[in-house]
């Protein structure tokens, strides 16, 4: 096994662990929604879990590259130029899914749970739209809904004289109320999915690089006992 195949196999194992984590973390709020709404699958805490960032983005879209990478050790499918090139191409899909997971997670962390929405627990903002996803503005990202006592982000122009009082009201939510529990759960789920997406993107990019290098620089190792 060449160093390229060894790194490919390591990437495959890492991606397998991450995609399982992504699916499990995304499935937890779906299960809670089913339990708390008596089987109606209503959006009790949030709506972004229904965009399936962990199940589709960090899960299903990562399976092809993961299977290809794990097969590198047993069947030596990456033991030639075509195999290394194919592993790179499949990891483009992995990076795309990871980016989708990251964007949805950032959007969810920016807006907070439904209880922090200005419309209360309304699911008006739960409609899936790629436009809303691509229009995400990093400058507007904040976690005031998590640290502020009022849960929602303050509206209106910012007043510098109020900054001190706003900061003094920040606290880490506890589990004393249902709203605080929703905030903690929402923050934990989508922060976990964000980290999973980042790690998958890094492993995917590394495999794209190592696959291209293996393809361009030979990518063919000699098996034991084989005479070239």
Query: pLDDT tens for residues 191-202?
Result: 999 999 999 999
Report whether pLDDT(224) > 70: no
Nearest-angstrom CA–CA distance, 184 and 8: 37
pLDDT per residue over 48-70, tens digit each? 888 999 999 999 999 999 998 88
Tell me, what's the pLDDT at 42?
Answer: 58
Which of the four pLDDT bands, split at 50, 70 and 90, describes residue 21? very high
Which of the four pLDDT bands, split at 50, 70 and 90, describes residue 104? very high
Which of the four pLDDT bands, split at 50, 70 and 90, describes residue 153? very low
pLDDT per residue over 154-201, tens digit each? 444 444 443 444 444 556 666 667 778 888 888 999 999 999 999 999
Q: Scan for tokens 């999915």, then name that residue.
A: 193
- Range scoring the smallest mean pLDDT among 13-17, 42-46, 185-189: 42-46
With CA atoms as reference, report the closest residue to 113 among 44, 163, 64, 173.
44
Element (H, E) at 185: helix 178-216
Report whether pLDDT(14) > 50: yes
With CA atoms as reference, report the closest residue to 193 among 122, 117, 105.
105
- Can you read off the two tokens belonging to residue 98? 């990871």
Residue scoring higher pLDDT (119 or 28): 28
With CA atoms as reference, report the closest residue to 32 among 189, 193, 195.
189
Q: Indicate the pTM of the whole model.
A: 0.80
Count the alpha carbons within 13 Å of 117 in the hemisphere toward its beta carbon: 19
With CA atoms as reference, report the closest residue to 43 among 28, 29, 55, 62.
29
Residue 183 phi/psi, 5-degree rounding, is -65, -45
- Can you read off the two tokens belonging to residue 177? 């109320």
Bridge partners, 170 (sequence order): 148
Residue 47 phi/psi, 5-degree rounding, is -125, -10
């Amino acid at each position: 096994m060449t160093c390229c195949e060894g790194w490919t196999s390591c990437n495959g194992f890492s991606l397998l662990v991450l995609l399982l984590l992504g699916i499990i973390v995304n499935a937890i709020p779906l299960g809670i929604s089913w339990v708390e709404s008596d089987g109606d699958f209503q959006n009790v805490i949030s709506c972004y879990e229904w965009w399936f960032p962990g199940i589709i983005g960090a899960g299903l879209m990562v399976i092809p590259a993961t299977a290809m990478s794990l097969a590198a050790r047993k069947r030596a499918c990456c033991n030639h130029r075509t195999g290394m090139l194919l592993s790179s191409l499949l990891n483009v899909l992995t990076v795309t899914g990871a980016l989708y997971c990251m964007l949805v997670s950032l959007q969810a962390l920016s807006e907070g749970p439904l209880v922090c929405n200005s419309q209360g627990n309304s699911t008006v903002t739960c409609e899936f739209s790629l436009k809303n996803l691509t229009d995400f503005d990093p400058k507007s990202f904040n976690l005031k809904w998590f640290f502020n006592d009022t849960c929602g982000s303050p509206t209106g122009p910012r007043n510098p004289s109020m900054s001190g009082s706003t900061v003094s009201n920040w606290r880490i939510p506890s589990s004393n109320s249902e709203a605080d529990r929703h905030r903690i759960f929402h923050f934990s789920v989508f922060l976990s999915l964000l980290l999973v997406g980042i790690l998958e993107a890094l492993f995917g990019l590394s495999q794209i690089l190592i696959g291209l290098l293996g393809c361009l620089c030979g990518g063919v190792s000699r098996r034991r006992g084989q005479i070239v």
